[in-house]
Structure 1
Amino acid sequence: MAHRFDRITTDPARMNGQPCIRGLRLTARRVVAAVALYPDRDELKREYPELEDEDIRQALEYAAECIADEILALDAA
């Protein structure tokens, strides 16, 4: 069985050790932000042609795993 996040890599010499996609200079955080900015996957892939579907899926799953299951108080607007 392949590692669950086999496309998420870290290297202290690249992007200050932040989790990146397949050793590219593209962080998992940036991919998650890009998904929010470009909800149309075709547009996202035009902007980031190096991304593959599995890269996007793993970046989203990795981000979900990093969020603690705790309740945070939100300020009332």
Structure 2
Amino acid sequence: MVYQHIISTPGILGGKPCIKGTRISVELILETVANGASVADIVREFPQLSTDAVQEAVRYAINALRSERIIDVDIAA
């Protein structure tokens, strides 16, 4: 999937996915949503973000989790 607003650069935020042209990470956007903020609240708090960018950050996270694989490993003590 191609993202217009999401970028990951090793020298910025340790390579965490963030909104292009900012140091606002997808993680920060998700934390803000988890704390009850709406997309409109986030755009008001971070005026450099567009509604499309915030929505794409959420979609990015959904897609990352969708492709995540959990491997159950039993470790002997």
- Shorter-chain TM-score bucket reads 0.7 to 0.9
Q: TM-score, normalised by structure 2?
A: 0.72
Point out where structure 2 has 5 or more consecutive residues left out of the alignment.
71-77
The 1:30–1:23 alpha-carbon spacing in structure 2 relative to 1, beyond 3 Å, is same
Which stretches of structure 1, 4 residues or longer, exceed 4 Å deviation after superposition?
Answer: none
Q: TM-score, normalised by structure 1?
A: 0.72
The 1:31–1:20 alpha-carbon spacing in structure 2 relative to 1, beyond 3 Å, is same
Identity score, percent: 25
- Let me know the Cα RMSD of the aligned residues: 2.1
Point out where structure 1 has 5 or more consecutive residues left out of the alignment.
71-77
Greater Rg by CA: 2
How many pairs align? 69
1:29 alignment partner AA: E
